[in-house]
Amino acid sequence: MGDRRHSEWRFMEIRVLGPVEVWADGHPVDAGAARQRAVLAALAVDVGRPVHLETLVDRVWGEASPPRVRHNLHVYLARLRRVLADAGAPDALARRSGGYLLDLPPETVDRAHFDALRHRADGLADDDPERVELLRRALELWRGEPLAGLPGEWAARVRQDWHRRHTETVLQWARGLLRSGEPEAVIDPLTRLADEHPLDEPVAAALLRALAAAGRSAQALAYYARLREQLADALGADPSAELRLLHQAILRGEITAPTPGTAPTSTHTTAGPVTRPALTHPVPAQLPSDVRGFAGRRVELAQLDALRATADAHPGAVPVAVLSGLAGVGKTALAVHWAHQVVGHFPDGQLYANLEGYSHSGVVRSAEQVVRGFLAALGVSPRELPVDPQEQTALYRSLLAGRRMLVLLDNALDAAQVRPLLPGSARCLVLVTSRDRLTGLVATDGAEPLVLDLLTAADAEALLHARIGARAEAERDAVGDLVGLCDRLPLALVVVAARAVVRPQLSLAELGAQLRTDGGLDGLDAGDHASSVRTALSWSYRLLAGPTARLFRLVGGSTDVTLSTAAAASLAGVDRRHVRTAFTELTDAHLMLERGPDRYGMHDLLRAFAAELSGEQDPTGDRAEARHRLFDHYLHSAHGAAVLLHPHWDPIALPPAVAGVRPEKAGDHDAAAAWFSREREVLIALVERCAASGFDRHAWQLAWSLTSFLDRQGGWHDQLAVQHTALIAARRGGDSAGQAHAHRSLARAQARLGRLDEAPGQLQRALELFRELGDPANQAHTCLDLAEMADRQGRRDEVVEHAEAALRLYRAAGHRYGQAMALNAIGWYRAQLGAHDAAVEACQQGLELLREFDDRHGQAATWDTLGYAQHRAGRPMEAVSAYRHAAELYREFRDRYYEADTLGHLAEAQVDAGDPAGATRSWRTALSLLDGLGHPDAEKVRRRLAAAEGP
């Protein structure tokens, strides 16, 4: 074959890695009916080599060849000559002795080109970037099912062999990218391959490694669980040893982040203290600070050590210890101190939660709240949370399975609060503290009970020696006297020791005399003399400077949440500088605890003592004003941050903050989101506290301020809780606006959680209330929500009616941003009803308005709608372009749910645009996103993908 003859064929292709096709100069040439294309494929697989006539017959017809098969074959060959001539290769089909030759350069046929690229790649080192590039180019040649549409055993055998080669190539390419530190790039291709070959364990192993290396461990574990079920159902077998080891490595966080030139690795370890490599997901380290000057409790520490050491003797049983005892006896101090001593035995992390079982406010943390917090610490983003609380608990246990973790549950109320928080893995250990003995947990769950009594006299003296130092050694008799006066109660001893440290000019004997003169311990906790610490606390309290003492009283008497310096400054109505000084004095005296960076709180007994003092010394009006300032601080801070998160919607009208309040002001969107993240738990708790304190307007307005943050973070369960509280508060206060906003926010949270039967009634009530208030903008917002709800429920006759009502209301209110949103909605719903050109026009008008506001998120929604309208109008190529715009914008905002939703629309358009392979890729990506979110829409996409791929 001469170069000149073949130079005119350089733009010609024969494609067999997909439907059998002939292309010339970038355009398809009609290759004829299926049998004729089968003849072409039978020649193309041996391009440049003669194929015997009998071989051609066997490849095309198999054993069921017709009587005049040779005649038929010659007819097809003659037609193929004309096809190839039309494509610019009139001499490509040549007769040879006993057969025929497709006389073309090998690279003309995609399968031969694929083999050539693979051959070149095989000659290079695994970590050579050129090898990865060659494999990528080879994979780009695949367009779907090879020899698609061709019947017969030969085509089936060829397809099977080629699929194997394709799988090998994908795996080699993926390994190369993993070595170069690019796990995200291979996840989608490996996911598609795993969907095509659900029982292929090498593919599964590669996908698990890629997900874990990309920091998507929750998604990897969910995939492994599905794979295990599929293997059991199809083969009655467990995953291979390699997969099981890989699964354990992911659970333990042992898949390291790859660096260029290295492969992701896993390190399998044995029990005992170990050092871990850098991990690709967070290793929680939530323990509070260790107790300074801890002394005594040798027996209890030994019991805990024994429990840890013998845990392996009971496989499958989660070791649980319950430390119980009266308030102030040192349960938390012992638990935290021991936990710090054994962290080396729990290298996969330590989880901690204060369950607030005996909170001063009486509000107890639910197990559901704690599980969501633990999942966040384990690297699960709020949008990845399963909707069902039971599924959240199951995910929590899955993430802990096989990992060596310590879980410390402090201040539990009862066994029912603890039981959902127990892991399922014997490699974890759970330590619970409670005033109750939790006999149900002991009896049913095999928990080990450890009841803490008062310190022995020797241990109590050791505690004072550890905290006071050399003076205690010099005044041993006085130390013994102090122990007796404090009734050997650790909390009282700690407070007395702190006074001794801050008053070095007084001897310990003089301190004891003062304590005795003050009257001894008189029972702060009624009926329980051992928890009486009033005198010891009063002793330290009277040493405080006046402003510090006032802050102590106000904090204890006004709230049970942890406070920042800024919040405490508003509470007291003073400058932050003064608060920082006071907090230092209080923490030095052990009258306040530093819970974290700029976070301060109190022990329950300290809070009770401070509240009692406040009731005795602060006028009722002063206490009410302090609480008002605190609630104003959080309300105005949260509202300002909420406006930054969503600047185009309407803020609510707040009453002015009272004098002395200095709200925190975030500088931009990111700072606002960070502030909400820091204060999230406090804000959620304060909605309840506001309502319980009679600050009903604060309750619903604070809940409103949380709405956008919780919605974007996927915090829909928390949203339901705060909005229920807000609604009750607004009703009690007769506040129609508050009720309307709460109804609307409740509906949105219910809809996000799939509770579509409840949401419409909430929206109708919100609309009625906004109408009574004469509030057209919020009526319009609610009409848009009603349109979305009617669409999701299939009530098409109501959809456009609600959307057009919203547009009229927005125009009446002069609300241009709202008009853009309404036009987008109208475009969407008109397209669904067949008014495609009108839909396109509405979307284009909406985009023009949105560009005024530079709202790229809103533009994404409108591009999605425009794509839908163009698709339904019979213009799939325009639809594909619009959908891609939308998906890229959603990806930019990391809005994974709407990115997945848009990709589903894109796939439908790609099918009609003649790109089924592209459609399959889009559906698979959408499914991967939805599975990662644990969203119920995943099942719908899974069914659509299965239908597209066929049996």
Q: How confident is the model at residue 2 (pLDDT cuts 50, 70, 90)?
A: very low
Our count of domains for the chain comes to 6
- Check whether residue 313 and residue 438 sit in a common domain: yes
CA distance 905 to 887: 10
Residue 853's φ and ψ, nearest 5 degrees, are: -95, -5
Q: What pLDDT, on a 0 to 100 scale, did the predictor assign at position 382?
A: 61
Query: In this structure, are 493 and 414 located in the same domain?
Result: no
- Per-residue confidence band for 3, with pLDDT thresholds at 50, 70 and 90: very low
**Final residue of a structural domain among 493, 508, 541:** 541
Q: Are residues 335 and 224 in the same domain?
A: no
Residues whose CB falls within 8 Å of the CB of residue 870, separated by 6 or more in sequence, listed in order? 836, 840, 876, 878, 879, 882
d(Cα 65, Cα 71) in Å, to the nearest integer?
12
**593 shares its domain with 479:** no
For the cut 50, the answer to whether the pLDDT of residue 530 exceeds it is no
- Look up the CATH number of the domain holding residue 241: 1.25.40.10
Mean pLDDT value of segment 342-353: 88
Strand pairing partners for 322?
432, 449
On the question of pLDDT at 6 being above 70, the answer is: no
- Same domain? For 383 and 509 the reply is no
Is residue 503 a contact partner of residue 511, using CB atoms and an 8 Å limit? yes
Angstrom CA distances, 772 to 171, 633, 778, stand at 64, 31, 11
Q: Which domain does 202 fall in, by range?
A: 182-265
129-138, 153-162, 254-263, 798-807: lowest mean pLDDT where?
A: 254-263
- Whether residues 862 and 950 share a domain: the answer is yes
Establish if 948 belongs to a structural domain.
yes
Question: The CATH number of the domain where 48 resides is what?
Answer: 1.10.10.10
CA dist 921 → 184, 434, 587, 892 (Å):
15, 53, 58, 20
pLDDT over 60 (residue 522): no
* pLDDT band (50, 70, 90) for residue 531: very low
Q: How confident is the model at residue 268 (pLDDT cuts 50, 70, 90)?
A: very low
Contact 819, 811 (CB under 8 A): yes
Average pLDDT of the residues in 404-431: 88
Average pLDDT, rounded, for the chain:
82
Owner of token pair 């290396």? 213
Q: Kindly state whether residue 228 falls inside one of the protein's structural domains.
A: yes
Both 828 and 927 in a single domain? yes
pLDDT, tens digit, 9 for 90 and up, residues 187-235: 888 888 888 888 888 888 888 888 888 877 778 887 887 887 777 777 7
Give the start-end residues of each E strand in 258-363: 320-324, 350-354
Q: Report which of 511, 327, 328 is spatially closest to residue 436, judged by C-alpha positions.
A: 327
Average pLDDT over residues 267-278: 30
Task: Let me know the angle formed at the C-alpha of 490 by 484 and 491, rounded to the nearest 5 degrees.
Answer: 110
Q: Which residue has the higher pLDDT, 719 or 940?
A: 719
Last residue of a domain, one of 618, 633, 667: 618
CATH number assigned to the domain comprising residue 318: 3.40.50.300
Instruction: Enumerate the β-bridge partners of residue 285.
Output: 350
Q: Are residues 826 and 918 in the same domain?
A: yes
Res 311: pLDDT: 65
pLDDT at 534: 62
Q: Is residue 271 assigned to a domain?
A: no
N-to-C CA span, the chain: 44
Could you tell me which of 73, 127, 126 has the C-alpha nearest to residue 100? 73
Q: Residues 532-570: pLDDT tens digits? A: 456 556 756 777 888 999 999 998 888 878 899 999 999
Do 436 and 325 reside in the same domain of the chain?
Answer: yes
> Residue 742 has what pLDDT?
95
Helix, coil or strand: residue 64: coil
Q: Which residues pair with 148 in a beta bridge?
A: 19
Enter the pTM of the model: 0.55
The C-alpha atoms of residue 689 and residue 627 are separated, in whole angstroms, by 10
Q: Of 55-59, 267-271, 746-750, which range is least confident?
A: 267-271
Give yes or no: residues 467 and 373 share one domain: no
Confidence class for position 605, pLDDT limits 50, 70, 90: low
DSSP 19: B
Has residue 682 been placed in a domain? no
Instruction: Determine the Cα–Cα distance for residues 704 and 902; give it in Å rounded to an integer.
Output: 29
Residue 730: is its pLDDT beyond 90?
A: yes
Both tokens assigned to 391: 């599924």
**Residues 536 and 551 both lie in one domain:** no
Domain annotation covers residue 781? no
pLDDT, tens digit, for every residue of 654-680?
A: 999 999 999 999 888 888 888 998 899
pLDDT given at position 863: 92
Percentage, residues of the chain above pLDDT 70: 88
Tokens of 295: 């002394």
Give pLDDT, residue 348. Answer: 83
- 484 within domain boundaries: yes
User: Last residue of some domain: 564, 596, 618?
Assistant: 618
Most confident of 411-415, 499-503, 734-738: 734-738
Please state which of the ranges 411-420, 518-527, 592-601, 663-672 shows the lowest mean pLDDT.
518-527
Q: Does some domain include residue 232?
A: yes
In this structure, the answer to whether residues 433 and 477 fall within a common structural domain is no
**What is the rounded average pLDDT of the residues 37-55?**
86
Whether residue 711 is contained in a domain is answered as no
Least confident of 166-180, 418-432, 494-508: 494-508
pLDDT of the residue at 9 = 37
Q: Characterize 646-673 residue by residue with b for buried, 16 or more Cβ atoms within 10 angstroms of its Cβ, and e for exposed.
A: bebeeeeebeebeebbbbbebeeeeebb
Select the highest-mean-pLDDT range: 170-184, 308-322, 361-375, 406-420: 406-420
Residue 489 pLDDT: 79
Query: In the 8-state DSSP scheme, what is residue 420?
Result: G
